Amino acid sequence: MKRLVAFFIMVFVVSLFSVGDAMEHSLHKDKSAIVLAFFGTTYPSGVSAIKNIVDEVKEAFPHTEVRVTFTSNIIKSIWRKRQQEAEKWLNAGVPQEVLYVKGLIATLGELADEGYKNIVVQPTHIYHMEEVEDLYRKVHALQCIETVKEKWKPFKKIAMGRPLLGGIGDKHDYHEDIKKVVLALRDDVNLAREKGAVLVYMGHGNEFWSTGIYVELQKAFREVYPDVQVFVGTVEGYPSLEDVVEQLKKEAKSKKIVLKPFMIVAGDHATNDMAGDDPDSWKNVLKKEGFEVYPILEGLGEKDAVAGILVGHIRDAAKEAGLKLE
């Protein structure tokens, strides 16, 4: 009798492990995809940053489908109009995934129709502000879809990675994410050092969300590279160009400035707001204040080290969701 009881206990335990293994295997065998969410750009010259990140992600996960989506409705509408002259833009080096770019909902809908059950959405935005919050809410809403039969749910798992400088909450220390980015941009600091210049970054910012992250970013740069003065401002929100000019007047030890965008893509803002010929561009405002300005049109996404940070965020999101990306 004891042997019979022991036998049934053993069978029960083995069956538990088998169910667990089967569930894990099910998650792993289902088709998985990565969706890279960019704010977007209308500038063909800015597409290189997008392509670089896509290439880095595909290299890291060669057996996983990778799609691109834009979060800016204005930019998506511009590319829709340009589809009427598709050959012109394709010949200019614009990849099809940009020319025919879709929003998040449409992109995920296509993946669902194609049988992809597990998705990691990775924002390439700088920090968790309005655009990323909207992404999160859409992802959460889709994950909550219930069907009468479990097998007809559009997705089994939808995970979302944190943006470049980290996210909200205590799961990951955003200070560590900031430091990784600062270290990844050592070439910018070295260039300023070689020129005997200060380094000024122009970020995008936001009028509807706190932009204090840029102040913390500036502080981190100065801690890691104490011999090079780094100033960070934003097109929208704080610190503004006026705030940066005020800081430069008080603190700058050089009249030379290396001016770069702190944006994934060097598109419209970088070309016009930062380095344009209008009197109110950052370049010309700083020149008017007596500085010698060296504007450089290079998006953060063009740097492999920055793309590598986003790859790491994808790995973290997949691991936390119990997904295995290959």
The pLDDT assigned to 231 comes to: 99
Q: What fold characterizes domain 186-297?
A: Rossmann fold (3.40.50)
Residue numbers of the chain with a pLDDT score lower than 70: 1-28
- Count of C-beta atoms within a 10 Å radius of residue 219: 14
Query: Whole-angstrom Cα distance, residue 98 to residue 208?
Result: 28
CB 121 within 8 A of CB 139: yes
User: What are 59-103's pLDDT values in tens digits?
Assistant: 999 999 999 999 999 999 999 999 999 999 999 999 999 999 999
Catalytic member of 125, 140, 172, 204: 204
- Count of C-beta atoms within a 10 Å radius of residue 17: 9
Whether 313 sits among the annotated catalytic residues: the reply is no
Query: Whole-angstrom Cα distance, residue 300 to residue 102?
Result: 23
Domain-wise residue ranges, the chain: 2-171+304-320, 186-297
The pLDDT assigned to 47 comes to: 95
The pLDDT assigned to 208 comes to: 85
In CATH, the number for domain 2-171+304-320 is: 3.40.50.1400
The pLDDT assigned to 312 comes to: 98
Strand-strand pairing, 116-123 and 157-160: parallel
| Residue list, annotated binding site for Co(2+) | 204, 236, 269
Per-residue tokens: 308: 């590598």
User: What are 123-166's pLDDT values in tens digits?
Assistant: 999 999 999 999 999 999 999 999 999 889 999 999 999 999 99
Q: 2-171+304-320 and 186-297: same fold? A: yes
pTM: 0.89
The pLDDT assigned to 13 comes to: 46
Burial of 124 (0-12, 13-18, 19+ CB in 10 A): buried
The pLDDT assigned to 2 comes to: 54
